Amino acid sequence: MKTQNIFFLLMVLACATISAQKPIEVFEENIVFTNSEHPGISVIIPEVGYETVEKSWIRSIESGTKSKAVYENGEWSIFGANIKDISPTPVNIYSRLVSQDTLVRLMVSIELKKDFYAERGTAESEFTGAKNFIRQFAKDQYIDLANDQLEKEEEKLRDIENELKGFQKQESKLERTIRKSESTIKNENDNLVVLNNELSTLTEEIISQNEQVVLLEEGAAKEERMKYIRDLEKRKNKVTRNINKSKSNISKAESAIKDANSRIPKEESLQDSAKERINAQEAVVSQFREKVKTIEAY
């Protein structure tokens, strides 16, 4: 149920974004510039911000010429623009940008020579070139936006995939801890068998030597036997310490296994959650890829 809820929520958000997508619309209309009406072309650019469109439009009309666009009374104009897609000779461009909610409207008039504008019927070739140029400009703006959106969603997907790798790495680390601890327990238990046998042998030998030393007369032989017993006691103490150390290592290893086993289910749960989010985010990314393809097909 949790998987379905996450998937459904992200799909709804993605579909809402795609459903809000608007076509690029180009209109042929008369446009008022500097209080005069001129034949022109307008285009609707969805979703892209006003400032982004404005900066891109200025760069576009200034490209290939030393002339600079001039802003006055809400209008951008440039004289002597070199746009070969419109005309082999320089043209004057008058334009206005208007922000309308989630879209920008770009209105343009192309003056081919004094008081002679690109329009249908009188300058058909230049008019068609201008219309295609403006449409392509709008399309490029929208594609750039959609690619930015796609990149952000792909980055989200990579972040979740990296989360999953982190959870998987942590689980692998816990599993290695378990295997290493199990190996430690086995080795220490084997070691304890040897140590306990050695301890029993030493204990019996010490008891036997103590029984014998009391029967000896005072002298060098007795001193030598007592020195031997002290050496046995030292060896016994060392074996006892090693036994305790092995037992401590076993206890630590058992605690490590218990801790790892208690943490693995959480890591598995985190992985399951990440996989669910990956599946949902992959669907979102797919939606945005389709959005880019749709715009490219305009």
Tens digit of each residue's pLDDT (9 = 90 or more) over 105-147: 999 999 999 999 999 999 999 999 999 999 999 999 999 999 9
Best CA proximity match to 211, nearest among 197, 223, 191, 225:
225
For residue 274, is it within any domain? yes
Q: Is the pLDDT of residue 10 over 70?
A: no
Axis-axis angle for helices 50-62, 124-213 (nearest 10): 120
What is the pLDDT at residue 1? 45
- The SS3 call for residue 84 is coil
Q: Could you say which of 105, 133, 152 is where a domain stops?
A: 152
Tell me, what DSSP letter sits at residue 217?
Answer: P
Indicate the number of domains in the chain. Answer: 2
What is the pLDDT at residue 225? 87
Averaged confidence pLDDT in the chain: 92
252 and 145 in a single domain? The answer is no
CATH number, domain with residue 101: 3.30.530
Mean pLDDT score, 197-205: 94
pLDDT over 70 for what percent of the chain?
93
> From CA 94, how far away is CA 130, in angstroms rounded?
12
120 and 185 in a single domain? The answer is no
Strands 103-113 and 116-117: antiparallel
Best CA proximity match to 42, nearest among 7, 112, 94:
94
CATH number, domain with residue 283: 1.10.287
148 and 160 in a single domain? The answer is no
| Phi then psi dihedrals of residue 88, to 5 deg | -70, -15
For residue 20, is it within any domain? no
For residue 106, is it within any domain? yes
Q: Which domain holds residue 208?
A: 156-296
144 and 178 in a single domain? The answer is no
Cβ partners under 8 Å of residue 81, min gap 6: 61, 62, 64, 65, 67, 90, 91, 92, 93
* pLDDT tens track for 118-127: 999 999 999 9
247 and 180 in a single domain? The answer is yes
133 and 32 in a single domain? The answer is yes
For residue 10, is it within any domain? no
Mean pLDDT score, 232-252: 96
196 and 256 in a single domain? The answer is yes
pLDDT over 90 for what percent of the chain?
81
For residue 124, is it within any domain? yes
What is the pLDDT at residue 18? 53
What is the pLDDT at residue 47? 95
Q: Could you say which of 132, 152, 172 is where a domain stops?
A: 152
